[in-house]
Amino acid sequence: MKKTIFGKTGLSVSRIAFGGIPIMRLSTPEAVRVVKEALDLGINFIDTATGYADSQVKIGEAISGLPRKGLVLASKSMANDKKTILEHIDNSLKQMKTAYLDIYQLHNVSSQEKFDAVFAKDGAFEGLMLAVKQGKIRFPGFSAHVMSFAVKMLKTDKFFSVQVPYNFIDRQAEAEVLPLAKKLNAGIIAMKPLGGGMLDDANLCFKFLFKDAGIIPDPGIEKPGQMKEIVSIFNKAESLTEAELAEIEKIKKETSGNWCHRCDYCQPCEQGIGISTVLLVRSFIKRMNAEKAIAMVNEVVQKVENCTGCGACKKRCPYGLDIPKLLKENRLVWKEYVKKTCGDRP
């Protein structure tokens, strides 16, 4: 696996990172196997977060006993204040069984309220800087889901890395974030390279991303062989063909206006609706057999009947989706699907 220098950190990182979200769903032995397979393929950049359940613990188990030099470990915290983020950093070090983390990120700074809180007196940024002085972390970074705040964070010129959603559907970062990050020589991590699971064609997704050597995608891996497939796409070093570019345009048109990123910042719903699950029913229909899809989704979709249309979810969505409208639309799609496949109704 080829490596590149990760911005002004000077760190030598693999052109692909390992995203730590999906291993939450695996047993520890399964997770360790998946992480080790990625390491064996030459992946040396692992990115996770304190909020990803026991992801840090499983990564710690996978890297236990390996030479620390050459590994690039990153985590992040949703904490707003100094005290909490320092506690999170210590917990990350303990769980990942390491004396230091290369990159530690303020997690999802995507609102003015969050921005003000992390930079306030005794805010999370102060804690981040103290941890740098203590040698617990080497470089501060941040993630954001709203591009205007990613730009605002970059303009402080206090961070060595930025992590934003970027794939061939979600290209908002191209307008300002990517050019500014490159100008400032900040490392760039592309979260959701597969659209949070909504894009099926790994070949299209990674050929699109690999064309820019300054961007490190961090796909979430949960099955043996998945990272091998992605590495194989990278190693072929092929450009997108005209047919593939046409396919991308077709997919973009099909998903326009209803693209849920599964970030769940719309939650909690007072009516208990699992919003992201409902907005992904087309994916369940497409990728699963009827029996499995109905078992997983039917009960969740039925709760859409409880929607009051209050709009709280719409206000919280960092992508501006009209969630109440999309809930109703997806509810109808689901009803038609169930009727067609088994004659039942949710």
Taking only the tens place, the pLDDT of each residue in 261-310 is 666 778 889 999 999 889 988 877 865 567 767 888 899 999 999 999 99
Q: Same structural domain for residues 37 and 156?
A: yes
* pTM of the complete model: 0.82
Between CA 175 and CA 39 the distance in angstroms is 34
Q: Give the total number of structural domains in the chain.
A: 2
Q: Same structural domain for residues 290 and 234?
A: no
Q: What CATH number has the domain bearing residue 17?
A: 3.20.20.100
| pLDDT tens sequence for the chain (346 residues) | 899 999 999 999 999 999 998 888 789 999 999 999 999 999 999 999 998 889 999 999 999 999 999 999 999 999 999 999 999 999 999 999 999 999 999 999 988 999 999 999 999 999 999 999 999 999 999 999 889 999 999 999 999 999 999 999 888 899 999 999 999 999 999 998 988 777 889 999 999 999 998 999 999 888 889 999 999 999 998 899 999 999 999 998 887 667 786 667 788 899 999 998 899 888 778 655 677 678 888 999 999 999 999 999 999 887 788 999 999 999 999 999 998 887 654 4
Q: Same structural domain for residues 9 and 146?
A: yes
- End residue of a domain, out of 229, 247, 265: 247
Radius of gyration of the chain (CA): 20
Q: Same structural domain for residues 103 and 233?
A: yes
Q: Same structural domain for residues 66 and 207?
A: yes
Q: Same structural domain for residues 209 and 280?
A: no
Q: Same structural domain for residues 162 and 297?
A: no
Q: Same structural domain for residues 63 and 99?
A: yes
Whether residue 254 lies inside any domain: the answer is no
Between CA 147 and CA 125 the distance in angstroms is 20
Whether residue 261 lies inside any domain: the answer is no
Q: Same structural domain for residues 39 and 156?
A: yes
Q: Same structural domain for residues 298 and 162?
A: no
Q: Same structural domain for residues 151 and 283?
A: no
Whether residue 21 lies inside any domain: the answer is yes
Cβ pair 252, 168 in contact under 8 A: yes
The position carrying tokens 């005290």 is 83
- End residue of a domain, out of 247, 265, 284: 247
Between CA 343 and CA 337 the distance in angstroms is 9
Q: Same structural domain for residues 223 and 100?
A: yes
Exposure pattern of 40-73 as b/e (b: 16+ CB <10 Å)?
ebebbbbbbbbbbeebbbbbbbbbeeeeeeebbb
Whether residue 268 lies inside any domain: the answer is no
Cβ pair 123, 80 in contact under 8 A: yes
For residue 346, the model assigns a pLDDT of: 46
Structural domain of 91: 3-247
Whether residue 300 lies inside any domain: the answer is yes
Whether residue 13 lies inside any domain: the answer is yes
Between CA 32 and CA 27 the distance in angstroms is 9
Task: Let me know if 81 is exposed, middle or buried by CB neighbors in 10 A (0-12, 13-18, 19+).
Answer: middle
Whether residue 260 lies inside any domain: the answer is no
Whether residue 257 lies inside any domain: the answer is no
For residue 162, the model assigns a pLDDT of: 98
